[in-house]
């Protein structure tokens, strides 16, 4: 990520003739953003991490800045730096995803996380049960686990068999770089995972040495993009339109936890937020 930022700053200096003061401000802005993305535990530290900066994550970042009392003029500059940087990344071929060029500056009053009601979550979770394929059994486990644990989709698909302790009733979630967190799961979720491991996963398995918990139909690890499409398909079948993504279930988990009386700090710990301001957004939903 640092290499990309330096390439961008060189471009601004040599091609655009930006002043030293502007370059220093942009450098601070982008390095601050990179640190935030890494702190969320949803990046691998490479250029691909930038492609995960969508409007929802950007909104979380803006709330974090707002909590730290930055002026609106400073926030506007930071957004301008981000948009200019992502445009450079796309035009230079460092990012392949064109939509990142059209990031909007979210308004604090409107760009709160998208969540589902409890009844909408139940409708979504009921969809895989209508099918009898091993893939549907896998999908049922993944949807229930991400909603009841608040895992990020990247953390969900990265789970290995040894990361789930069914005897203790917990999931070990390893953060990129260092550290981990332990997420409790209830007895019903334990039983659901156990049944999946003994049946559907066994049917999907092609190589005994495969360690991934969630497998695709070829027997390899299911990807982040693959699960994103799975959620979209079930949401459409449930009549929820195209507004649902894996992150929607994570947002719903946090919101429902707080509405149920959980303390903000405990939800922060479950979500793996580095900053409590990122968690506080859910109190405003």
Task: Give pLDDT, residue 101.
Answer: 45
pLDDT in tens, 110-125: 457 789 999 999 999 9
Going by CATH, does the domain composed of 118-284 fall within 1.10.287.3510? no
Judged by DSSP in three states, 98 sits in helix
Task: Give pLDDT, residue 197.
Answer: 95
Q: How far apart are CA 126 and CA 140, in angstroms?
A: 8
Task: Give pLDDT, residue 75.
Answer: 81
Structure tokens at 229: 């499409």
Q: Which fold has domain 2-102?
A: DNA polymerase; domain 1 (1.10.150)
Q: How far apart are CA 205 and CA 134, in angstroms?
A: 11
* Strand ranges across the sheet with 164-165: 164-165, 170-174, 180-184
Domain boundaries, the chain: 2-102, 118-284
Q: How many percent of the chain have pLDDT more than 70?
A: 87
pLDDT in tens, 176-229: 444 578 999 999 999 999 999 999 999 999 999 999 999 999 999 999 889 999
- Whether 2-102 and 118-284 share one fold: the answer is no
The stretches in the chain having pLDDT less than 70 are 40-48, 55-56, 97-111, 175-179, 285
Q: How far apart are CA 261 and CA 224, in angstroms?
A: 31
């Amino acid at each position: 990520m640092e290499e990309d930022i330096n390439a961008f700053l060189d471009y601004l200096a040599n091609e655009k003739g930006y002043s030293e003061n502007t370059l220093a401000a942009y450098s601070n802005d982008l390095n601050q953003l990179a640190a935030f993305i890494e702190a969320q535990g949803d990046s691998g530290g490479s250029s691909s991490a930038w492609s995960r900066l969508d409007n929802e994550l950007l909104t979380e970042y803006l709330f974090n800045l707002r909590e730290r009392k930055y002026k609106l003029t400073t926030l506007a500059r930071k957004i301008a730096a981000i948009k200019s940087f992502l445009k450079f990344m796309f035009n230079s071929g460092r990012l392949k995803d064109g939509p990142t060029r059209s990031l909007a500056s979210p308004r604090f009053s409107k760009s709160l996380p998208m969540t589902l009601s409890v009844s909408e979550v139940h409708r979504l979770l009921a969809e895989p049960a209508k099918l009898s394929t091993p893939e549907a059994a896998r999908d049922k486990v993944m949807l229930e686990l991400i909603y009841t644990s608040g895992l990020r989709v990247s953390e969900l698909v990265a789970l290995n068999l040894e990361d789930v302790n069914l005897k203790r009733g917990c999931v070990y979630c390893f953060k990129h770089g260092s550290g981990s967190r332990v997420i409790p799961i209830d007895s019903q979720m334990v039983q659901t995972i156990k049944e999946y491991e003994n049946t559907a996963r066994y049917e999907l398995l092609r190589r005994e040495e495969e360690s991934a918990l969630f497998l695709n139909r070829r027997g390899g690890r299911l990807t982040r993009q693959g699960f994103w499409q799975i959620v979209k398909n079930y949401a459409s079948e449930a009549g929820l339109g195209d507004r649902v993504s894996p992150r929607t279930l994570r947002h719903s988990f946090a919101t429902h936890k707080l509405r149920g009386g959980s303390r903000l700090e405990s939800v922060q710990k479950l979500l793996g937020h580095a900053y409590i301001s990122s968690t506080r957004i859910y109190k405003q939903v």
